């Protein structure tokens, strides 16, 4: 891994007259776990979309290390190691867990059509690489026993882990997670938090997590950024941010405390 910083400078995303994200500047340090918090409509998912190339940036810049990636497509950013999940699970429900995870290997350099037609050595090296990576991440996430089962047969929390495995199979630089434990009960949310911490400790990467559960943010993240109405209103250690008066007001209204 290059361990490059992901930086945004005066980032603004506008949809017509609506400023979904406005003038956000932040540096996401390598190996960090950053929580994005804020009420509904604060701009959290829009910020992830801007970082991952899923939405156009109206103004400002996004950099990975010294490279300006502001105008790169989502596919080009994936090639640089920036990957993301979504609020709803996006898997091939009727296909096996193994196939769903192995599809993530398509982000690796793949052999050309000619190399495949003539079964040249590079094709077989790529195949062995991708198979080994798939088996490894399945084992790491405790999914090996489900490898041959259709995703549709699995409980929701396990499908979430399958999605996570597909993202991590190529050892990305930056992982953007949009409410990875959404729809889960408390035990499942705690399991997801522990899993993410263990993965990050084993092979550190920059992780940016949109999360509504403040308890998950406290336990998982080393840094937090609070948004409201598209603007950053606080940043710092999670406990400090969550006790910030502006954050309290945004979440709970004037005069209310967590």
Structure tokens at 9: 């400078």
Which CATH code for domain 1-81+172-258? 3.40.50.300
Closest CA to 111 of 131, 125, 97: 125
Please give the full DSSP string across 91-137, using - where no structure is assigned. --TTSBHHHHHHGGGGGS----HHHHHTT-HHHHHHHHHHHHHHHHH
Give the dihedral of Cα atoms 120, 166, 222, 3; nearest 10 deg: 10
Give tens-digit pLDDT for 88-120: 778 889 999 999 999 888 766 565 665 566 565
Share of the chain above pLDDT 70, in %: 89
Q: How far apart are CA 11 and CA 51, in angstroms?
A: 10
Q: How far apart are CA 248 and CA 69, in angstroms?
A: 34
Q: What's the average model confidence in pLDDT over 122-144?
A: 83
Residue 19 has pLDDT above 50, yes or no: yes
Averaged confidence pLDDT in the chain: 87
Give tens-digit pLDDT for 203-225: 888 999 998 888 889 999 999 99
Q: Where are the domains of the chain?
A: 1-81+172-258, 90-171
Identify the H or E element spanning 6.
strand 6-15
Structure tokens at 247: 């954050």
């Amino acid at each position: 891994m290059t361990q490059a910083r992901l930086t945004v400078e005066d980032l603004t995303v506008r949809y017509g007259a609506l400023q979904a994200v406005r003038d956000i500047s932040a540096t996401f340090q390598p190996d960090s776990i950053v929580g994005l918090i804020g009420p509904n409509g604060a701009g959290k998912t829009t910020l992830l979309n801007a970082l991952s190339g899923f939405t156009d940036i109206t103004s400002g810049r996004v950099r990975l290390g010294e490279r300006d990636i502001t105008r790169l497509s989502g596919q080009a950013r994936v090639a640089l190691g920036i990957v993301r999940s979504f609020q709803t699970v996006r898997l091939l429900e009727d296909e096996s867990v193994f196939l769903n995870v192995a599809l993530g290997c398509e982000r690796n350099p793949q052999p050309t059509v000619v190399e495949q037609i003539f079964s040249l050595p590079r094709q077989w090296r790529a195949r062995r690489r991708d198979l080994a990576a798939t088996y490894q991440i399945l084992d790491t996430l405790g999914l090996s026993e489900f490898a041959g089962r259709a995703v549709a047969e699995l409980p929701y929390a396990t499908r979430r882990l399958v999605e996570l495995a597909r993202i991590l199979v190529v050892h990305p630089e930056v992982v953007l997670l949009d409410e990875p434990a959404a729809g889960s009960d408390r035990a499942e949310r705690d399991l997801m938090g522990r899993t993410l911490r263990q993965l990050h400790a084993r092979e550190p990467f920059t992780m940016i997590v949109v999360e509504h559960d403040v308890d998950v943010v406290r336990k998982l993240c080393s840094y937090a950024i609070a948004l409201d109405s598209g603007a950053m209103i606080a940043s710092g250690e999670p406990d400090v941010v969550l006790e910030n008066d502006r954050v309290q007001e945004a979440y709970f209204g004037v005069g209310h405390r967590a």
